[in-house]
Amino acid sequence: MNELSLQTYEMARRSIVKVLRQPALFIFPILFPLIMMGINVSGLDAATEIPGFPTDSYLDFAIAFPMVQGALFASINAGSSVARDVETGFLNRLALTPMQRAAMLLGLFTGEMLVAFVSTLIYLGVGFAIGLHFASGFFGVLVLLALSLLIALAFAGLGAFIGLRTGSPEAVQGVFPLLFVFLFLSSSSLPRDLIEHDWFRIVATWNPVSYLFEGLRSLIIFGWQAKELALGFGVAAVIAVLGVYGATVALRTRVAAR
């Protein structure tokens, strides 16, 4: 194992152990989206009777929500975790060691993506247990897992960027409502063409999070749709590149300012 891999492994292990030692860090991000999904699936079941609704099961439509919401919570964890490392001086002490900067971030992202992967498996397991239909079959499940991992990386990158820029867990928590706005002002609850208010439909169309939902949902409801998948992977990749690049620059600045 080369040096970078070994250092990344150690940082990822630390990230995972940190999460496992504080059950609130993984129980809440997994349980809360599941509760919301359970409430929405029953509460909005009547929405499937709207003419043009793409499926007769709101569960098939809503299962994408906990995946994106879980990734969002993971981003807050990633941001808070790295901000705490700044605040406690851990990052400064780490910078004095031969640890490569890339390993610091790769380790953090690996840990958060593992949490997101387990969360997605749990959401899918619960979904299948209560009657989820998966139009694209087994390979669709694999592609969905890949897309949800990319989404988790994208949000973790953003979280790490905010955490490193501010160096304050409170500031990361303060940004949370803004990210939540992106989640709700999207096609998360209804397909865009069924949103009545023009202004909301325009906001949802410009909101990149809509394409993450639609990419995930296309595999579940419709099967293989090239355009939705390309947009889903494309948008997630762009956010991931921006987030990881931003976090890398912020880390460099943070360590240089030491």
Q: Which residues bind another protein (CB under 8 A)?
A: 24, 28, 35-36, 38-47, 49-50, 170, 174, 177, 180-181, 184-185, 188-190, 194-197, 199-200, 204
Q: Which is nearer to another protein, 39 or 249 (CB)?
A: 39
Q: Closest separation between CB of residue 217 and another protein, Å? A: 16
Closer CB to another protein, residue 165 or residue 244?
Answer: 165
Among 61, 64, 68, 66, CA closest to 221 = 61
Burial of 61 (0-12, 13-18, 19+ CB in 10 A): buried
Min CB(131)–another protein separation in Å: 11
Q: Which of 41, 68, 243, 53 is nearest to 144 (CA)?
A: 68
Q: Residue 58 or residue 155: which is nearer to another protein going by CB? A: 58
**Least distance between another protein and beta carbon 29 (Å):** 13
How far, in Å, CA of 221 to CA of 76, rounded? 29
- The rounded distance, in Å, linking the Cα atoms of 205 and 191 is 11
CA 42 from centre of chain: 24
3-state helix, strand, coil in the chain (%, to 5): 85, 0, 15
> Between 44 and 135, whose beta carbon lies closer to another protein?
44
Closest distance of CB 87 from another protein, Å: 17
Minimum CB–partner distance for residue 220 and another protein (Å): 19
Q: Which two tokens stand for residue 168?
A: 């304050």
* CB closer to another protein, 28 vs 206: 28
